[in-house]
Amino acid sequence: MNNIAKTTLKSFGLMLIFTAILGGIYPTITSLLLEGFAKPQSIGSLIKAKDGSILGSSLIGQNFEEPKYLWGRLSATSTPYDAAASSGSNLGVNNPVLLENAKARIQNLKKYKNDESAKIPVDLVTASGSGLDPEISPSAAYYQIPRIAKARGIDEASVKAIIDKSTKKRTLNLLGESRVNVLKVNLRLDGKID
Amino acid sequence: MAHLLTMNGLLQLVAYFLILAIFYIPIGNYMANVFSGKNTVLSPIFKPIEKSIYNLLSINPEKGMNWREYAITLLAFSFAGFVLLYLILLFQGLLPFNPQKFAGLSPHLAFNTAVSFITNTNWQSYGGESTLSYFSQMAGLCTQNFVSAAVGLSVLIALIRGLRGVETSDIGNFWADVTRANLYILLPLSLIVAILLGLSGVIQNFQNYLEITTLEGAKQTIAMGPVASQEAIKMLGTNGGGFFNVNSAHPFENPTPISNFIEVVSILLIPVALCQTYGVMVNDKKQGLAIIAAMVLIFAPLLIFCVTQEQAGNHVLTTLNIDQSVNSLQAGGNMEGKETRFGIVNSALWASATTAASNGSVNAMHDSFTPLGGLVPMVLMMFGEVVFGGVGSGLYGMLHFVIMTVFIAGLMVGRTPEYLGKKIQSYEMKMASLAVLVPSLFVLIGVSIALMTKAGQAGIFNNGAQGFSEVLYAFTSAANNNGSAFAGLGANSPFYNTLLGVCMLAGRYWIIIPTLALAGSLAGKKHIPISAGTLPTHTPLFVGILIGVIILVGVLTYAPSLALGPVVEHLHMIKE
């Protein structure tokens, strides 16, 4: 019995030491190093206006519903793009709500589009995993060019140029997917960033 | 098939295996050196720290333990971890680094989370950014991410000592094993990965949540925190409990294809390299190669099947005018619950890797996978987390299957069952059977209880077969210490928190104890020289039988429940 008590005491001692090293010193060292080498990333890759005010994060999507803006993925957070409580929809493929959500988005898209025949890119009618996806596929962005151009009274080529400027290709032409940063496109459309 | 697995998709998968293969030998050898007590490149830094820890607690690292002492020490140590974490979570409201002023967790949620992290399961009943303070994340979860993985490593090393030992009761010193695993292996690797992740955009700060106004004029609160440091060990330690609710789907946990690649490599890095460690430590590298071959041969086909199922898309959406095809401008496929930057290939790769290893993190929502795509992660867990598996726990789980295979193959050809010069007798078989069967028992009984009670049914989110899959997935994940979820299931209730907590404990310690007993029994045996009657355990034939045994045990146990869940759901999807 005495032995077990000793072992338990040592266990708590070792656990406290590990807490100090692994739960205290290690995150602190990481923070210091990253503050030195990657300050902008460490605080959330924020986008600043020319006057220095914070417009958002290039990694966190914002909700867009006005026709003059590029729209992103559907978001399943309690209010769309709630970056304080991320969530996916968790809807199974057969769940009728998934179909309803897709139909509602299609209706919104069709309101501004005369060409009924064009197929809608799947990422425009499905919710992202995080509810905060900052990006959509180039195909989903191109689909929206006529609406944005019309709402702003500008030509389609200049909208496409802004989309292309805000597009990232696969890393090393290999990893991930090509994608368009929705917030950056909209900030550029509004002339708030270069 | 060809249009479902693109050339780029294939190349991404090849790149993944290639990187793991490159690290196999250096990291495997390094870990073998650490656990053999040899000096390594990092000894000048960590030796003094290690020594002062031993002095402070008057531990003699050279003193051998028999398997009972080892097990009792391990249990006491885990108990200490449980108590500390439980108290931190319960009294979070009184502790520092809590900018959002989160209150303490409810007792059942604190119990579930504490059990989840000491058992290396990291099931997420908690909501991350909406529940936990920075202190709870760092001092509580981050610490246990390290320590629980180190416990897994220690048990594996003890088992290897059992296989090597000759007529001894000594299987090593738990204090030394767990300290070395933390200091020499997990800490330096985590630091490297954390810095790489930070450079690629993962956040690391202690700021208050950021309040901004969006371009359309809405208010948005953006959660912050020390994420990179926790993300690194979360992946490397096969833990998987996210800083944020949506885990590695969150752009702050996993912002780019590069961060995704680093993280998904980190999932399998240690479990894969441990096969080399094993080979080195038993003085026969072919034994390690045979095991890694079996793992890859089970993993690769399932992975490719998962990619193709997700790329095929959601059949229900084909009734609408939607383009689900893959081309140079879009990933296509079943994009519900997936992030644009990861698309289909990286989401399916992650889902397969995270469940093959007992990691359980996600970068896409498994509940929204196609029925057969979602069957893959479920099946990989049902194999008992031995295909790569958890850090340490995967390989010791696999060695139970190896022993079973030696026994069965021995009976078939009429040879005396022996493994690495040790006779395999009824005691070893009993321990191996316990370790293999206990998790399945808890899965099936747990699912039955949940389905028969109102409290269990109340958590189900999707209707019909998918709802059944949610429950099946939850218990499979808990009892096999994985931690991923069909996250629609509302599991933060006293019922699920408690029952899943019990399954996690059983799935961890009811395997660890038979494993240590096995180590003790093997260590006490004589070493028999190889003879004409010895069945070689590194040949393709043996690998084949081993795969057969794993699949037979897994599939025979779970085939009926898989038919009721994913298979019915699939038929339902394609009927329209």
pLDDT at B576 over 70: no
Task: Please state the φ and ψ torsions of residue B291, each to the nearest 5 degrees.
Answer: -70, -45
Instruction: With cut-offs at 50, 70 and 90, classify the pLDDT of residue B532.
Output: confident
A61 shares its domain with A12: no
Cα–Cα distance, A29 to A33 (Å, whole number): 6
User: Is residue A71, in this structure, part of any structural domain at all?
Assistant: yes
Instruction: With cut-offs at 50, 70 and 90, classify the pLDDT of residue B1.
Output: very low
A114 shares its domain with A78: yes
Integer-rounded Cα Rg, in Å, for chain A is 23
User: Is residue B507, in this structure, part of any structural domain at all?
Assistant: yes
pLDDT at A1 over 60: no
Q: Which of A9, A17, A33, A34 to mutate to test the interface with B (most CBs of B within 10 A)?
A: A34
Number of compact structural domains in chain A = 2
A49 shares its domain with A35: no
At B151 the pLDDT is: 97
Q: Which of B72, B215, B367 to mutate to test the interface with A (most CBs of A within 10 A)?
A: B215
Among B323, B244, B322, B302, residue whose Cα is nearest residue B547: B302
| Chain A stretch 97-136, residues whose beta carbon is closer than 8 A to a beta carbon of chain B | 98-99, 102-103, 106, 116, 119-123, 125-136
Cα–Cα distance list, A71 to A81, A112, A181, B571 (Å): 12, 13, 10, 34
At A95 the pLDDT is: 95
Question: What number of other Cβ atoms are within 10 A of residue B274's Cβ?
Answer: 32
Q: How does pLDDT run across B314-343, given as a tens digit for each residue?
A: 999 988 989 999 999 999 999 999 999 999
A69 shares its domain with A29: no
Number of compact structural domains in chain B = 1
A79 shares its domain with A95: yes
Cα–Cα distance list, B226 to B40, B92, B137, B243, B270 (Å): 30, 17, 8, 9, 24
Among B239, B146, B89, B104, residue whose Cα is nearest residue A19: B146
A9 shares its domain with A96: no
Task: Please state the φ and ψ torsions of residue B332, each to the nearest 5 degrees.
Answer: 65, -160
Which residues of A are less than 8 Å from B255 in CB distance? 45, 59
Which residues of A are less than 8 Å from B142 in CB distance? 22-23, 26-27
Cα–Cα distance, A63 to B188 (Å, whole number): 40
Let me know: does B136 contact B89? Beta carbons within 8 Å.
yes
Instruction: With cut-offs at 50, 70 and 90, classify the pLDDT of residue A114.
Output: low
Share of chain B above pLDDT 90, in %: 93
Cα–Cα distance, B507 to B444 (Å, whole number): 13
Cα–Cα distance list, B501 to B90, B252, B386, B462 (Å): 16, 29, 21, 23
Q: Which of B8, B329, B345 to mutate to test the interface with A (most CBs of A within 10 A)?
A: B329
Among A33, A156, A15, residue whose Cα is nearest residue B193: A33
Among A125, A129, A161, residue whose Cα is nearest residue A142: A161
A31 shares its domain with A58: no
Q: Which of residues B2 and B114 earns the better pLDDT score? A: B114
Evaluated on CA atoms B121, B124, B126, B131, the torsion sign reads positive
CB contact (8 A) between residue A133 and residue B339: yes
Q: Which domain holds residue B451?
A: 393-574
| Chain B stretch 211-270, residues whose beta carbon is closer than 8 A to a beta carbon of chain A | 212, 214-216, 218, 220-224, 226, 228-230, 232-233, 244-246, 249-252, 255-258, 260-261
Buried b (16+ CB within 10 A) or exposed e, B59-86: bebeebbbbebbbbbbbbbbebbbbbbb
Query: In sequence order, what E strands does B70-117 have?
Result: none
Q: What is the mean pLDDT of residues B10-17?
A: 97
Tokens of B6: 């693109």
Q: Which residues pair with A175 in a beta bridge?
A: A171
A14 shares its domain with A26: yes
Q: Which residues pair with B310 in a beta bridge?
A: none
DSSP string, B463-502: -HHHHHHHHHHHHHHHHTT-----TTS---SHHHHHHHHH
Let me know: does A127 contact A73? Beta carbons within 8 Å.
yes
Mean pLDDT of chain B: 95
B566 touches chain A (CB under 8 A): no
Question: What number of other Cβ atoms are within 10 A of residue B289's Cβ?
Answer: 17
Q: What is the mean pLDDT of residues B13-25?
A: 97
Q: What is the mean pLDDT of residues B32-42?
A: 94
Query: In sequence order, what E strands does chain A have?
Result: 46-48, 54-57, 120-121, 135-136, 167-168, 179-181
Query: Residue holding tokens 């097990």?
Result: B71
Query: Per mean pLDDT, which range of B49-63, B407-421, B448-462 is the poorest?
Result: B407-421
Cα–Cα distance, B403 to B422 (Å, whole number): 10
pLDDT at B534 over 90: no
Instruction: With cut-offs at 50, 70 and 90, classify the pLDDT of residue B416.
Output: confident
Which residues of B are less than 8 Å from A145 in CB distance? none
Residue of B nearest to A10 (CA): B57
| Chain A stretch 33-52, residues whose beta carbon is closer than 8 A to a beta carbon of chain B | 33-35, 37-38, 41-46
Tokens of B362: 């996600």
Q: How does pLDDT run across A59-108, given as a tens digit for each residue?
A: 999 999 999 999 999 999 999 999 999 999 999 999 999 999 999 999 99
pLDDT at B504 over 60: yes
User: Is residue B42, in this structure, part of any structural domain at all?
Assistant: no
A55 touches chain B (CB under 8 A): yes
Cα–Cα distance, A75 to A87 (Å, whole number): 8
Q: What is the mean pLDDT of residues B70-95?
A: 97
Q: Could you say which of A37, A45, A136 has the minimum Cβ distance to residue B340?
A: A136
How far does B425 lie from chain A, in Å, by closest CA? 32
A55 shares its domain with A90: yes
Tokens of B135: 């202190």
DSSP string, B2-23: TTTS-HHHHHHHHHHHHHHHHH
Q: Which domain holds residue A20?
A: 2-41
pLDDT at B241 over 80: yes
A129 shares its domain with A87: yes
Cα–Cα distance, B148 to B182 (Å, whole number): 10
DSSP string, B368-393: GS-HHHHHHHHHHHHTTSTTTTSTTH
User: Is residue A194, in this structure, part of any structural domain at all?
Assistant: no
CB contact (8 A) between residue A62 and residue B218: yes
Q: How does pLDDT run across B266-279, given as a tens digit for each residue?
A: 999 999 999 999 99
pLDDT at B18 over 90: yes
Instruction: With cut-offs at 50, 70 and 90, classify the pLDDT of residue B469.
Output: very high
| Single-letter amino acid code for the residue at A74 | L
A95 shares its domain with A175: yes
pLDDT at A25 over 70: yes
At A60 the pLDDT is: 98
Question: What number of other Cβ atoms are within 10 A of residue B283's Cβ?
Answer: 9
Which residues of B are less than 8 Å from A125 in CB distance? 317, 320, 322
Q: What is the mean pLDDT of residues B65-69?
A: 97
At B413 the pLDDT is: 82
A67 shares its domain with A156: yes
The helix/strand/coil state of B418 is: strand
- Around B512, how many Cα atoms within 13 Å sit in the side-chain half-sphere? 28
B333 touches chain A (CB under 8 A): yes
